[in-house]
Amino acid sequence: MTRTLSIDVGGTGIKALVLNGHGEPISERSRVETPYPCPPELFLETVRELVADQPSFDRVSIGFPSMVRDGRTLRVVPFARAVKSGARDPELYAHWDGYRLQQGISEMLGVPALLINDADMQGCAVVTGEGVELVITLGTGVGTGLFHEGRLLPHLELSQGEFGGDSVDIAIGDAQRRKVGNKRWRLLVTKALTDFDAKIIPNKIYVGGGNSKHLRPEDLIDGCEIVPNTAGLLGGARAWELAK
């Protein structure tokens, strides 16, 4: 039975565990703090050390917080900062833009690799395959994934859309939450959910990520539910089916 090493990459932490062929964990989760600054070479070394104590695996899935095309990272905002939530560093941004991360991880670990957006991988753990399903992750930034009848659609950076003079990514990202406080931030999240619902008309919206713990049931709109943050890892096995 195929074993999948699942890696969930975030702006705060990088996590990993091994899943069996049914998508069930067969190891304890490993976690390290995301280093800053983090050029690609340091990221690879961090992952190598992170998974060193995990049991054997046949393939690896990586959920990464950026646009991903053909195994390359594009517009990597979180890791293009010298400090967490800091200003964009042009040199770091250039290092990450177009980087062949899927190939780099496959060569380093010696197994086939699948690199997809982190919200897409979270969605692979929770979607039911009924209609249009939207996945939103609330973390350092905001990620989105879109599915239709259980099939992962080409990734769209929906969080880069305009929202109150900023992008959604900035307006309800972690830096803004810390600046305005949870009470006002929750109101912004509710408005963002309403806007997404009006534009996409999904059958279901799933909200995850580390900052989803700050939401209350009354902050959600109809057809929306909060999913466990562990979904970012548990989607690693199913991603090989839904992303192809």
**Predicted pLDDT of residue 222:** 97
Q: 8 and 15 in contact (C-beta within 8 Å)?
A: yes
Question: How distant, in Å, are the alpha carbons of 136, 177, 226 from that of 45?
Answer: 29, 31, 33
Q: Where do the domains of the chain lie?
A: 4-119, 127-232
Residue 85 in this model has a pLDDT that exceeds 80: no
Residue 1 in this model has a pLDDT that exceeds 90: no
CATH code given to domain 127-232: 3.30.420.40
196 — pLDDT class (breaks 50, 70, 90): very high
Reported as a single tens digit per residue, the pLDDT across 108-144 is 999 999 999 999 999 999 999 999 999 999 998 899 9
Q: 237 and 23 in contact (C-beta within 8 Å)?
A: yes
3-state secondary structure of 135: strand
**Predicted pLDDT of residue 171:** 96
pTM score: 0.93
Residue 190 in this model has a pLDDT that exceeds 80: yes
Q: What is the fold of 4-119?
A: Nucleotidyltransferase; domain 5 (3.30.420)
Residue 172 in this model has a pLDDT that exceeds 90: yes
pLDDT mean over 32-50: 96
